[in-house]
Amino acid sequence: MLTWKKIINFSIKGNPIPDKRVEKTVAEWKAQLTPEQFRITRLKGTERPHSGALCSIHEAGKYNCVCCNTPLFDSTIKFESGTGWPSFTQPITENAIKYERDTAFGMVRVEVMCNTCDAHLGHVFPDGPEPSGLRYCINSESMQLEKVL
């Protein structure tokens, strides 16, 4: 299980190696994504709380990166945080996500990105439910739900 200590270590010493890499030009991402998806994933934007389509959905499935379709989270680790953004306690695999120290807006936070294509997803905080104690706070626009039929 990933812990806050492990995540801080990743953000300082380097991230786990992803299974594969997807790299595209800005023009290619722009052509593929909606303007809002582009703004959030490629320009590190944030959607308004409670605005995301996936915020209050609790259907079974996998939450994949909207840019490269890599599975990032699973519905079994989604929880209702009340923040207005989809929230998870763990990534689907340890190397699905990469972490970087984010000091924007005078705060020290840990930014969460897709480890395959570097899409900005959101942030992770050490105030989630037990046992991991983690809260991944993720933009709906960064993900697409692959439902389990």
Residue ranges binding Zn ion (CB under 5 A): 65, 67-68, 114, 116-117, 119
CB of 129 to Zn ion, least distance (A): 26
Q: Which is nearer to Zn ion, 116 or 139 (CB)?
A: 116
User: Cβ distance 146 to 61 under 8 Å?
Assistant: yes
CB of 69 to Zn ion, least distance (A): 7
Name the CA radius of gyration of the chain, rounded.
14
Q: Which is nearer to Zn ion, 33 or 65 (CB)?
A: 65
Spatial separation of the C-alpha atoms in residues 28 and 123, rounded to whole Å: 25
- The residue annotated as part of the active site, out of 65, 67, 114, 137, is 137
Q: Which is nearer to Zn ion, 75 or 144 (CB)?
A: 144
User: Cβ distance 4 to 12 under 8 Å?
Assistant: no
CB of 146 to Zn ion, least distance (A): 14
Query: 67 an active-site residue?
Result: no
CA 60 to chain centroid, in Å, comes to 18
Strand segments, DSSP code E, in the chain are: 61-65, 71-74, 78-79, 87-88, 97-102, 109-114, 120-125, 135-138, 143-147
5's enclosing H/E stretch is helix 4-13
CB of 114 to Zn ion, least distance (A): 3
Q: Which is nearer to Zn ion, 50 or 117 (CB)?
A: 117
Active site residues: 137
